[in-house]
Amino acid sequence: MKIAAISDIHANHLALETILQYVEQEGIKHLMFLGDYITDCPYPGKTMNLLYECMEKYNCYFIRGNREDYLINHHHNPNNNWKYSSSTGSLLYTYSNITQKDIEFFKSMPVSMKVKIDDYPSIFICHGSPVKTKDWLFEKDELIYSHIKDIDSKHFIFGHSHRSYSTTIFGKKVLFCPSAGLPANNNTDAQFLVLEYDKQEWTSKVASLPYNREKLVQEFHESRLIEKARIWAKCILKQLGTGIECCASCVKLARKKANSSASWDTVPEKYWIEAARELGIS
């Protein structure tokens, strides 16, 4: 019995295609998706089509990530600050290239879910935390335990961090799933977790698969995403090529240069440019 846990695709359909080829070859029938399906890479519709195909072919479990929340909120409030810029250009590009069906699909997803397959022990999945998609619990064991202590499960998988991490807290085994499409752990492959039931518990391994990153870079230019998302797109490309987190660092520095109280979505372009230059991104 094997399960694939796939998180943080971020519209990297080429990475997802590679993962699904592996899933097919290994005969895996159950897929858990941990959110952040799109934004940041080009042609989000290609990723959505792959997800819909998965629903027809496999037993799939979907939860919502913070990126889905952003898109849902924009759908209900289109008069926010989104424009083609380093701050929100990637989000606006994504929203402009998805459908009402996609929005409804995201809205149907819970924030967290207990996955119970046949007589196997349950696995609780979430993106940020069991209650919020944007919570950051990576390597914070005390905070993790405060969120999971009353949940009736001994196995937990989180997304959101783009990094792998495992810990056992008072008998509860917790895994953080690396990113399928935008890793931040010094590895540029498509990454995900493969869980296998061994005697009385789930065991896990990180699967890491190379994919055609050169084609993905070409798509950034063909789609004009690199023009619409500007410095943000350059951060994404840098991270895709190095496996080193770039986006949050650039946002933090740009906000500091603008004003520490400036909202991330209103930082003037000149501060993005200064931050990127200082960080060696452009």
**Tens digits of residue pLDDT in 76-128:** 998 778 999 999 999 999 999 999 999 999 999 999 999 999 999 999 999 99
Q: Where in the chain are the domains? A: 2-209, 227-279
Closest CA to 94 of 211, 13, 184, 183: 13
Alpha carbon distance 250, 51 (integer Å): 30
Work out the end-to-end distance of the chain between its first and last CA atoms, rounded to an integer number of angstroms: 46
* Alpha-helical regions (H) of the chain: 13-26, 44-57, 66-76, 89-96, 100-108, 141-148, 213-222, 225-229, 231-242, 247-258, 269-279
Residues 6+ apart with CB under 8 A from 27: 2
Residue 282 has pLDDT above 80, yes or no: no
Alpha carbon distance 238, 244 (integer Å): 8
- What pTM was computed for the model? 0.97
Average pLDDT, the chain: 96
- Domain 2-209 in this protein, CATH class: alpha beta
